[in-house]
Amino acid sequence: MSVKVSIEEDRRKKVIDALAQMRDGLLSEDVILRAVLQTGRDTDRDTMRADLTFLERAGCVLVTKLEIINGEIWRVQLTDDGLRASQGHLLVAGVARRVVR
């Protein structure tokens, strides 16, 4: 596996982990972006949206696009499969596996 793929998978895992920490599994893309950056993973809005689109296609999140004056903001909801992947109970291709220590 390439380093690039490993980084992408890890970043996506950080996204579902951030959502899993919320009682309702719901965050805006801006909050998710900040949470991922705080873990030391380098990313930007375009990369984050690509990851969210990937995770939505994989069934891990639901994305609702809300129109605002200067564009749109994405509201992201963790699905049951996304929660199971975050907990290590479901393997999702393209998302890093949970490491048990």
Sequence-ordered list of residues with C-beta below 8 angstroms from that of 87, at least 6 positions apart, any chain: 20, 98
Among residues 78, 84, 2, the alpha carbon closest in space to that of 10 is found at: 2
pTM exceeds 0.85, yes or no: yes
Q: How far apart are CA 6 and CA 21, in angstroms?
A: 23
Reported as a single tens digit per residue, the pLDDT across 39-56 is: 988 899 999 999 999 999
What are the sequence ranges of the domains in the chain? 3-87
Q: Which fold has domain 3-87?
A: Arc Repressor Mutant, subunit A (1.10.10)
Q: How confident is the model at residue 97 (pLDDT cuts 50, 70, 90)?
A: confident
pLDDT single digits (tens) 6-38 = 899 999 999 999 999 999 999 999 999 999 999
